[in-house]
């Protein structure tokens, strides 16, 4: 999959040319540690992460249509819990703090849900956050995920153990919650005129 699109975003594979935009938000201590990864210490580290982590299939840079700036990342990653119907994946995302509070993360996550269920044929999509991460919790709630379980999880990149809440959405739950055409028009208006 090369590119996805929402009213305000283009989701596309990251390239080496995105390193400066990635480094801009990945060096911010409010981003990586809340998601379970260390802040980036150099532009070169961001380049290496693009080449290794962000080169995975179904992993995208979030690009603002209005400016062409890459302002975050989101993707479907291989993580299976075997608790609900499969095949399943997990959504992960990060966003530049300069863009927080504009509804961009839920917009990207909703498109990944559509892609996962319609294009990739997934039956269940998971999403999680650490217990202190209220911003991620709000994204999860806005996108219709349902709470499934809590666990004490290792965070290998930070050498910690944290409380992690796990949510999931099945294809049937997603389809049942799909907006009516009128609701879809209202949603599009909210994205276009925040």
Report whether 145 contacts 168 (CB < 8 A): yes
pLDDT, one tens digit per residue, over 134-146 is 999 999 999 999 9
Question: In what side-by-side order are the strands of the sheet with 124-130?
Answer: 4-5, 9-12, 59-64, 70-77, 88-95, 124-130, 160-170, 146-155
Task: Domains for the chain: give ranges and CATH numbers.
Answer: 4-192 (3.40.630.30)
Confidence of residue 156 (pLDDT cuts 50, 70, 90): confident
- Claim: this prediction has a pTM higher than 0.75: yes
Bridge partners of residue 83, in order along the sequence: none
pLDDT, one tens digit per residue, over 25-56 is 999 999 988 888 899 999 999 999 999 999 99
Percent of the chain with pLDDT over 70: 90
pLDDT, one tens digit per residue, over 96-133 is 999 999 999 999 999 999 999 999 999 999 999 999 99
Q: How many CB atoms within 10 Å of residue 187?
A: 14
């Amino acid at each position: 999959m090369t590119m996805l699109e929402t009213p305000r975003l283009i989701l596309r594979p990251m390239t080496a040319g995105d390193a400066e935009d990635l480094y801009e938000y990945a060096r911010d201590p409010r981003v990586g540690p809340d998601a379970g990864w260390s802040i980036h210490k150099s532009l070169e580290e961001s380049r290496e992460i693009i080449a290794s982590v962000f080169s995975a299939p179904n992993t995208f840079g979030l690009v603002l249509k209005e400016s062409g700036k890459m302002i975050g990342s989101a993707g479907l990653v291989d993580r299976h819990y075997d608790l609900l119907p499969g095949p399943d994946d997990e959504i992960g995302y990060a966003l530049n703090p300069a863009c927080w509070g504009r509804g961009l993360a839920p917009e990207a996550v909703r498109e990944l849900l559509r892609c996962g269920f319609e294009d990739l044929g997934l039956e269940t999509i998971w999403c999680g956050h650490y217990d202190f991460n209220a911003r991620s919790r709000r994204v999860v709630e806005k996108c219709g995920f349902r709470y499934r379980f809590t666990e004490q999880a290792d965070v290998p990149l930070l050498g910690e153990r944290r409380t992690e809440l796990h949510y999931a959405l099945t294809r049937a739950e997603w389809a049942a919650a799909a907006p009516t055409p009128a609701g879809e028009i209202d949603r599009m208006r909210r994205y276009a005129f925040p």
